[in-house]
Amino acid sequence: MKILYKWIILAGLLLAAFISYGYGFSQGAVIFVVLGGTLELTFWFGVFGKTQRNDKFEDIEYDFGLKGDEDKELYFLLNEACHAYYHAKGTWVSEDKDSYAKALLKYLIKYPELESRLILSKERVIKMITFRALEFK
């Protein structure tokens, strides 16, 4: 649902930019041309901007389609794995990866569709523990 809202907002920005350009060029109002340019730049940064990645400082609210407490538990597990990986400066020991993968395995067994969603994640740590969990499956 968040993606739908993002694209609705981006479409609104682009529409506002076109309207501002049109009015600015037809009336010779430079301020509206500048406003249109600003809105258009905001649109393009929204489309091709930096993707959200989990660093070691802030939690990211992942949405993989689970509901209720299981969603919160998976959210906590994934953020904890990312924090552990980045605190280890990208060189965590195999036992750490295994413990997170085994905890993730119960979700993969219960929700088979979750496997592809996790693999398509842009977060490297989530992909690593997903593939490790699939090795245990």
Spatial contact of 101 and 121, defined as CB atoms under 8 Å apart = no
Q: What is the pLDDT of residue 1?
A: 47
Measure the CA–CA gap between 24 and 35, rounded to whole angstroms: 9
Tokens 């739908």, located at residue: 4
pTM of the full predicted structure?
0.57
Give residue-wise pLDDT tens across range 51-76.
Answer: 555 555 566 777 788 888 888 899 88
Q: What's the mean pLDDT when you consider all of the chain?
A: 84
Spatial contact of 47 and 10, defined as CB atoms under 8 Å apart = yes
**What is the CA angle 122-135-119, rounded to 5?**
15
Largest CA distance in the chain: 67
Mean of pLDDT values over 101-111: 93
Q: Is the pLDDT confidence value at 2 over 70?
A: no
Q: Is the pLDDT confidence value at 9 over 80?
A: yes
Joined tokens for residue 101:
């993968």
Q: Is the pLDDT confidence value at 108 over 90?
A: yes
Question: Long-range contacts of range 118-125, CB-CB < 8 Å, 24 or more positions apart?
Answer: 118/64, 121/62, 122/51, 122/52, 122/53, 123/53, 123/54, 123/60, 123/78, 123/82, 125/54, 125/78, 125/81, 125/82, 125/85, 125/86
Mean of pLDDT values over 131-137: 90
Mean of pLDDT values over 128-136: 92
Q: At what angle do helices 68-87 and 124-136 cross, to 10 degrees?
A: 110
Contacts (Cβ under 8 Å, ≥6 apart) of 103: 77
Measure the CA–CA gap between 135 and 95, rounded to whole angstroms: 14
Q: What are the domain boundaries of the chain?
A: 2-48, 68-136
